[in-house]
Structure 1
Amino acid sequence: MQAGKLVVLTGPSGVGKGTLLRSLLQRHPDLYVSISVTTRAPRPGEVDGQHYYFVNRTEFERMVAGGELLEWAEFAGNYYGTPRLAVEQQVQQGKCVILEIELEGARQVRQTFPTAFRIFILPPSLNELEFRIRNRGQDSEDAIARRLQRARAEIDAASEFDIQIINDDFEKALTEIEAALLAPVHCYSA
């Protein structure tokens, strides 16, 4: 059996990674998306084990100490990480595994999985990114300010990735991600 592929999808908070990924999964249900573990509280409608695995800080720190996470990072006062075992099993079974993670975690994956294909999603502008974050209506002013400050640093790191895609037109961005994944060296054979 041919080994699978690990794909990292990164970009600043509010850029539309999750929305792009959901649409990609509708078109390609054979993709495997890793479910992250986090210490943040569930947002309305989020289900434990489906959107994230929600744990407390003590449990998360135990997972880090036990080497159970492929990568992990602290973002906006909360921990996020990728359970190692599930990803490794899916790649070994020949699946194309997508990690939707933040920059810090993507850099860790670059060290642990140097063959991972890395995609960075960019906003059309910082003003548009701020508009999108505010329109979600999920964050306090303080959290918005932290997200925007972090976004500036993340955008500066976009050149570290294999490709950069600007999410200014949703369908165009989705088509560009599909084209990259459909390349034989990434997820699908011709």
Structure 2
Amino acid sequence: DSDPRLWKFAALGDPQVEILLFRQPNAQVLLREVTAVKEWMNSGFALHTMRDHPTHNWTVVPNLWAVRANTDKTSPESINSPASLADLREELYRNFMGNYRPFNDQLLLTEVIWPILQVSVMQHDSLHCKQFYGSRPFPTERTFGHWVGCPAHGYVETFKWVCPKECRPPKHEDWIYC
């Protein structure tokens, strides 16, 4: 029997899948997210993470990350080859089964995915950039008080946290809520 909470990882390491994005089904898809993902897709980095809210203080936020498989047959041992990603998927399964803890997704991604793929990561971060070395600002300014990953309907909170100056794009230090 498989735990439905693990189904989202099933395509990780599938040789027919080159890019896999993990998102919350009820989240809005914002231009802010689209431009950040496009920047990552054009980069060549294996892993993409986004942190755009005060609660996004994990190395890999469970529904705001993506991975690119290296489908180059001349590099079968690369950290993001389909075989390596399949090994990571199996490690996630092994660690998850029978080991439920609060914040299990965050902990597993931090313990299993991050140590391997952190050497090839693009991180977009609007608030915790000092905590996560190598983070970069989002390429677009926040609009309407929304954040990447915010629910599409029924949520009334608007973003009100000022971005640290270090987390703002160098050419846009005037983006208070970046």
Does TM, scored on the shorter chain, surpass 0.5? no
| Larger strand fraction of residues | 1
TM-score (norm. length: structure 2): 0.37
Q: Relative contact order (alpha carbons < 8 A, sep ≥ 6): 1 or 2 greater?
A: 1
| Larger helix fraction of residues | 1
